[in-house]
Amino acid sequence: MCLHVAQAPRNEHLNMGLLPLCLIFLFLSVSSGEISNSVGVNYGQLGNNLPSPEQSVKLVKSLGAKRVKIYDANPGILDAFKDTNIQVSVMVPNDLIINISNSQKLADSWVESNVVPFYPKTKIRFLLVGNEVISSPPKEIWPRIVPAMRKIRNSLKTHSLNKIKVSTSMAMDLLESTFPPSNGTFRSDIADPIVKPLLQFLNRTKSFYFLDVYPYFTWATNPKTINLDYALFESRNITYTDPDSRLTYTNLFDQLVDSVVFAMKRLGYPDVRIFIAETGWPNAGDIDQIGCNIYNAATYNRNVVKKLTAKPAIGTPARPGWVIPSLIFALYNENQKPGPGTERHFGLLYPNGSYVYGIDLSGKTPDSDFQPLPKPDNNEPYKGKIWCLAAKGANATALSAALSYACSQGNKTCDPIQPGKQCFKPDSLYWHASYAFSSYWSQFKKAGGSCYFNGVATQTAKDPSFGRCKFPSVTL
């Protein structure tokens, strides 16, 4: 017989009043592992020099990680995590979403090929349908996310894989307003047609809203307005009180997360749980990128781990005491990630497996046990000239293709490296590419152009000009 409780205490956001006592214990036993506050790590694979999956599993364990997320369903990685008791999140690639949304048969086939052979020996707990899909085109995929999620969930139920939750990861750019947190609002173009059905699905299936949140980028775009210590969880006397909610904040992370909480509430879903799918701080970057260094990365990641693993759970001002499952980005510095230099420097580990800085994702190791950190040298914006050169040792074929691209853009980008002109050097692909890259970047940086060129370019503060040949530069 089950005893009834007239008014049981609240556990997170579930009101247990009038529930049979045996059902309460059942709920707690089923949910405890699912909503554990353990911290994990994102295992990206965009590098040509990364350790094997087997070695990576050992490194994940050494970090104290209890969860891992991969950005596909790599069978070698899933095999390597068998019998480790580490929770694994796998992902349906973005380019399959439309086809899966239109075909239950394809959804069944994907689950049968990428989940069934590994479960339960590999502890797959989440299946994410796409990664930051709404952050980039094509827009045609956006409304197909939830239909694809439904079909994937149907496939899991068909195979009695009921412990695996379905979701999708989203970045902060889904919000048109994040400040103050109580004004958090999803973008008007996606709020009703896309986000609302997503929240309805997550609420109905008791899944999580997977959120990528990076205080680094918010601070780096507003370093004069936002105090760095506030972004690093280091502020001792800096607080912000939301004028509408009257909630007081002591760090930027909580502000950003709560802006999503209020945005969900605005759409009628105040209780959908949040899972931090990615957070972290870059340990290095380009010359023109501020605050990306080992000191800040270690400080942020150590502090966010302390917060997220605290017992009892801290939660956020809008959700005090709520458990927030989380994953730090990323396991490795990945040398083939496109974009600014920071993108290739979020790793806790170098590709050779050594630590970038000491860290324990279990949150049990005191900071005093770690080696001293190097002092930061780029917490203020760089002021001066920067050039974009070909990277030493770059592949000649790739360099030639990048040179051709740069010369095809802009106004007379490569005129000075034509035969007979002041910057022409016979048989010097390196110098011609370097001039072209600098010329291109000086013209297009303000419009979003980067000094990357598929990984064959790098920034320098040393003027490469020679003789009558003057290289164009970017001035900060």
CA-to-CA dists, residue 5 to 22, 36, 106, 166, angstroms: 10, 26, 47, 33
* Tens of each residue's pLDDT in the chain, 476 residues: 333 222 333 233 333 333 344 433 333 333 333 578 899 999 999 999 999 999 999 999 999 999 999 999 999 999 999 999 999 999 999 999 999 999 999 999 999 999 999 999 999 999 999 999 999 999 999 999 999 999 999 999 999 999 999 999 999 999 999 999 999 999 999 999 999 999 999 999 999 999 999 999 999 999 999 999 999 999 989 999 999 999 999 999 999 999 999 999 999 999 999 999 999 999 999 999 999 999 999 999 999 999 999 999 999 999 999 999 999 999 999 999 988 999 999 999 999 999 999 999 999 999 999 999 999 999 999 999 999 999 988 999 999 999 999 999 978 899 999 999 999 987 799 999 999 999 999 999 999 889 999 999 999 999 999 999 999 999 98
Residue of 12, 140, 234, 278 marked catalytic: 278
Residue of 132, 334, 343, 380 marked catalytic: 132
Instruction: Please confirm, yes or no, whether 334 is among the known catalytic residues.
Output: no
Instruction: Please confirm, yes or no, whether 112 is among the known catalytic residues.
Output: no
**All residues at 6 or more sequence positions from 352 whose CB lies less than 8 Å from its CB, including other chains:** 51
Cβ(304)–Cβ(233) under 8 Å?
yes
Cβ(348)–Cβ(328) under 8 Å?
yes
- Cis ω before 120 (30° cut-off from 0): yes
Q: What is the DSSP string of 114-174?
A: HTTTTTTTS-EEEEEEEESGGGSS-GGGGGGHHHHHHHHHHHHHHTT-TT-EEEEEEEGGG
Tell me the pTM.
0.89
Q: What is d(CA 367, CA 365) in angstroms, rounded to the nearest whole number? A: 6
